[in-house]
Amino acid sequence: MNLIFDLGGVVVEWQPQAICADAFADPVQQATALQHIIGHPDWLELDRGALGRDLAISRAAVRTGWDPAVVQAFFDRVPATLQLKPDTVALMRRLRAAGHRLFCLSNMPHHSLAYLEQTYTFWDVFTARVISCQVGMCKPEPGIYAHLLRHCAIDPAQSVFIDDMQANVEAAAVFGIHPLRFENAAQCEAALGDWMAAKAAHA
């Protein structure tokens, strides 16, 4: 089977509200960062690799009215908040050991990807990976799923996409990939077991 994993919210933590709360004591600043930085379309363009980090910082400083140094400090904090989810990594290693092929499909900007590559060793579980900033496309856009299937030679009927965002798994389902909305590693493992049992019963 082909098991395709998202990163943020699945393999590593991704909690924008908590990130903003940790960075700023003032609730107004927290809300501003959430709306005008992480929640702004520029963040998706960072994920896409279409917007450079320095320009993103300067544009966010204009939107928020904050000193660029404050915005840069916030940007600098984000990668380290992508803390590993050990239970997910343990699950991925069990699945790989059982003979399944694992892939990665994730929205991630260059600077956060570089941090994860330098900090964690889970990458060896993946047969291949598709990261938004490296291919110029983002989930849930159809193009990134088409690229994954083509680039990795994946049969969608024998595949599951695991993501914490409903829109992203629904977009995968359009391509015939089984959608699995991630809540936690135990729920994910149980859902995968059910899907594999159903596949085996109909083989």
User: pLDDT tens digit string along 141-156?
Assistant: 999 999 999 999 999 9
Q: Give yes or no: residues 70 and 109 share one domain.
A: no
Q: pLDDT for 73-113, tens place per residue?
A: 999 999 999 999 999 999 999 999 999 999 999 999 999 99
Contacts of 175 (CB under 8 A, 6+ apart): 142, 145, 146, 149, 156
| Domain count across the chain | 2
| Full domain range(s) for residue 89 | 2-13+82-201
Residue ending a domain, choose from 30, 46, 80: 80
Question: pTM for this structure?
Answer: 0.94
Q: Do 114 and 176 have their domain in common?
A: yes
DSSP 8-state assignment for residue 177: P
Q: Is the pLDDT of residue 203 over 70?
A: no
From 80, 103, 119, the end of a domain falls on 80
CA angle 110, 114, 117 (to 5 degrees): 135
Domain boundary among 64, 80, 96: 80
